[in-house]
Amino acid sequence: MKKIIQKFPIAIFMILLVSCEEDEVINSPPSTPANIIVSIENNMNVKIEWDSSSDINNDNILYRVFIAPCFYDTLSISDVIWYCKANEELIIPTNDVIIKETNDNTITVTDLEVFNRYSVSVMAIDNFDNESDISKARIFNTVGSGTVVGDIKIRDQIHISLFENHQIDILEGNLMILGNHPVHPNPDGRKESITDMSVLRGIKEIKGDLIIGEYLDLDFGYLYPYDNFDFGNQDELGFEDIEKIDGNLEIYASNGDPLKALKNLKEVGGQIIIKQTSYTDYCSLSDLITENNFEISENLYNPTFADFQAGDCSN
């Protein structure tokens, strides 16, 4: 009898221990967000919605939204092709990604580039930091018509294609025709030379700068022009209707002659800068040139203000 009593507390302890192990609850992650819907509002705000995630533990849910640009403005590009495939899992990039968080199943984003292409995916996280799988990606374009606010950067024909069926009259920002860098091109075969810019026609006023053919001053001091657009082989360059540029007109290291397309340009509010081109004829700019508003250098012909005054605008 004594031996039985001594063993009884041990038996009770073991029963309680097993009971606690059986009652232990494992906290599970929320379900994966699904059915992303993107809508572009008139002021270029982007509204993103998705189906709410469920959580079997009834935990609070935070949504983390990943927005990755398909067109990069950096030389450190990696895995771009994965960011921009619809219905694929988004590989979270290490740079140039925009991350937003919200407790709702909708969010409005106001800081995206105008006329660009983006991929968006969503992850759900509970208050124990359990993460769902990341959702399938949704691709969308930030496009607008009429008066558009924001800078437009064009690097290849894919950018140009975003303008189709979207007529801009006034751009409250900069228009930059930049092309692709020849030493650090886009890595996924997506590079398409700019061959047709006619869809840009209709822009009458640029309230910022018009920059064509920007170049980079790399660390070792060599200038590489962006090289994948050919103005010489295009009937229309899309600049034919521009009447006013409030900022600078800057042209760098471009081939062909984009000046011929600016035939209706009547006013440049900033500087006229033309460098490293093969230009020999600047007569279309004669009425726009003043003594202190231009810098023309490192071209085949570089007229001075005295040359313009004398009518020697070409060579």
Q: Hey, CA dihedral for 92, 98, 99, 100, is it positive or negative?
A: negative
Per-residue pLDDT of 214-250, as tens digits, reads 654 434 344 444 444 556 556 677 889 999 999 999 9
The predicted structure's pLDDT at residue 25: 63
Q: Which helix (H) or strand (E) holds 22?
A: helix 2-23
Q: How far is CA 115 from the centre of its chain?
A: 8
Distance between CA atoms of residues 10 and 57, nearest Å: 34
The predicted structure's pLDDT at residue 200: 86
- Residues in the chain, pLDDT under 50: 1-5, 20-21, 73-83, 86, 91-94, 181-190, 216-228
Query: Which residues on neighbouring strands pair with residue 214, listed in sequence order?
Result: none
Q: Which helix (H) or strand (E) holds 6?
A: helix 2-23
The predicted structure's pLDDT at residue 88: 52
One-letter amino acid for residue 41 of the chain? E
The predicted structure's pLDDT at residue 255: 64
Distance between CA atoms of residues 173 and 186, nearest Å: 25
Q: One fold for both 34-141 and 146-310? A: no
User: Does CATH place domain 146-310 in 2.60.40?
Assistant: no
3-class DSSP state of 275: strand
Give the start-to-end residue ranges of the domains of the chain.
34-141, 146-310
Supply angle C-alpha 57, 62, 64, rounded to 5.
Answer: 135
The predicted structure's pLDDT at residue 162: 81
**Token pair for 252:** 């760098």
CATH number, domain 34-141: 2.60.40.10
| Percent of the chain whose pLDDT exceeds 70 | 70
> What is each CA distance from 98 to 101, 155, 186, in whole angstroms?
10, 21, 20
**Token pair for 305:** 């203000």
* Cβ atoms 299, 277 nearer than 8 A: yes
